[in-house]
Structure 1
Amino acid sequence: MTTGLIPATILTGFLGSGKTTLLKRVLGEAHGHKIAVIENEFGEENIDNDILVADTQEQIVQMSNGCVCCTIREDLRTTLSDLAARRRKGELDFERVVIETTGLADPGPVAQTFFMDDEIAESYLLDSILTLVDAKHAEQQLDTRQEARRQVGFADQIFISKTDLVAPEQVDALVHRLKHMNPRAPMRKVHFGEVPISEVFDLRGFNLNAKLDVDPEFLTGDGHGHAHDHDHEHGEHCDHPHHHHHDDDVKSFVFRADKPFHPAKLEDFLGAIVQVYGPKMLRYKGVLHMKGSDRKVIFQGVHQLMGSDLGPKWAPGEKKESKMVFIGIDLPCDILQQGLEQCLV
């Protein structure tokens, strides 16, 4: 990484979804990555004791392949700044951090740590949030636990595990449901954590500019070749007919416009929306066509924290349009729709 920042990945998913299996694979594989793993777990399934010795005074364990493990019993911020300090002093050698959250955790506050704290922001770059979904138990978990739905809404990449244990049509129904909740995260099926490292790291889910270079299909709705029986834009209108009986509270709302945005109006409107609905807004992201700018403006946020960045210039002949996606809990789609339309020139 030219920036010198340490990339961080947040790994989330419900109990038994296979996070530990995936982590063991990532840690045990001789792929030449030196990884620090932070386990934010409290008495749940720890990575094997031969890797992590939980009752030692020293919270950080060096592994034979150069990886580092630590279990947090306190604040994530403190642990991250401690790791960065020890790396600067040459006491620890690692290139990236993976934070495994507890099965019931909301990834929001973990992600916010990377934005809110200057010291953390100067050392780390939040790369992406990965969510593991267990195909066998997902339906019940999504029906009964809002935490599970939030984890889906936050994801930059979704891995579906245990698909071999359920019928193909059940997997299709699950993919369909997850896409309604989060149309912007690519999904792939994983078998016992066998995922190529390239699909786990450097996804740049949070890196504003790079995301567009990496993913030209950003927001085309269903950009990943899953055959679906419908062709409407996911989440385009909040009241579109559902093809399934689940009406999850985590939903997506997509806004597109050809007219440019009025910068001051848009800033005021988004600022107000975030103030009121921030806790219910999980992830939001967009590529904006702004009046008076020959460059794309890229914006994104987590809960109340919003950031924007100048992107590349609009190419000659390229259609200038704004595309935004909001993923959240019971979002007021009509207010978003009307408010955004009023910000157009």
Structure 2
Amino acid sequence: EEKAPDVDLAPVSKKGLAHPARPGAGTVGKKVMIRANHFLVNVADNNLFHYDVSINPESKSRAVNREVLSELIKLHGKTSLGGKLPAYDGRKSLYTAGSLPFESEEFSVTLVDPEKKDKEKAEREYKITIRIAGRTDLYHLQQFLKGRQRDMPQETIQVLDVVLRESPSWNYVTVSRSFFSTTFGHRGDIGEGLECWRGYYQSLRPTQMGLSLNIDISATSFFKPVTVVQFVLEFLNLRDTSRPLTDRDRVKIKKALRGVRVETNHQEDQIRRYKITGITPVPMSQLIFPVDERGTRMSVVQYFMQRYKYNLQYTSWPCLQSGSDARPVYLPMEVLCPCLLRHI
């Protein structure tokens, strides 16, 4: 009976591959010093602990979550948290070098919400639950870096990456895995109400010399720090502000500003923030809405004059809209400024 020829089967996964070791360093030539965008990172030999974080009421904003955790650390850092300075990813995970003095604990903090009107509503209470999720030791990472282990401990790399992002996340504007600031260079005008900011991207990489922090330059667009009216004038390239906006103009504005958070500027002592959900189909001069439970109706123009003594000028333009279609909040463009946000 004829035997089948021997066939080298491919490994079932990359983990089965044994890469050949480097035979040695070069011995010929001249040594030169070069600059590279890599920086060696030394890590203390300490166990890393992973904790699940649950915040109630839940927020989709990393900035709000970080504010909540920051307040928690201020109140309980030296007591209940055992003097630890945790690294937080802004979502569900928190990491510490060494364990916290508990496996599960619930805390309560109160923050001032700038989007609310009166003082009573301005304070919001948050419940934070911190629960042990796992432990990561650095042994496997050290073995991998020394070439004694084939599998890269990706989870450990991710934990250290979160730790290295902690400080810049507080000091700079974070977009995905990059950090931006006006201190990094000139803000370049790119038209249509936008400007370009410089920043940098960072990533932790294992190398033959050890852990390396890779840093690359990056850039992205932000809204200019101008009023919404000024943004619209530049965005649509308008000169005549007295004529009504066309349906095409309205659609373009809606696409550009939907989801953007804006701040009011018609009250010096009170700034409120809103998230834009749409734009009204009719000019501001035609917008009438109920102002009380008795059904009293008033135009937006009348309301601003009566409530704030503010004479609206761009009455032929539509209002931006916040809230839902059932309970809309009408926002005249001339009393709004975009918050510091990247243009998406």
Which TM-score band (shorter chain)?
under 0.3
Q: Which has the higher strand share?
A: 2
Question: Normalising to structure 1: TM-score of the pair?
Answer: 0.25
Q: Which has the higher helix share?
A: 1
Structure number with bigger Rg:
2
Question: Normalising to structure 2: TM-score of the pair?
Answer: 0.25
Give the number of the structure with larger relative contact order, counting CA–CA contacts within 8 Å between residues 6 or more apart: 1
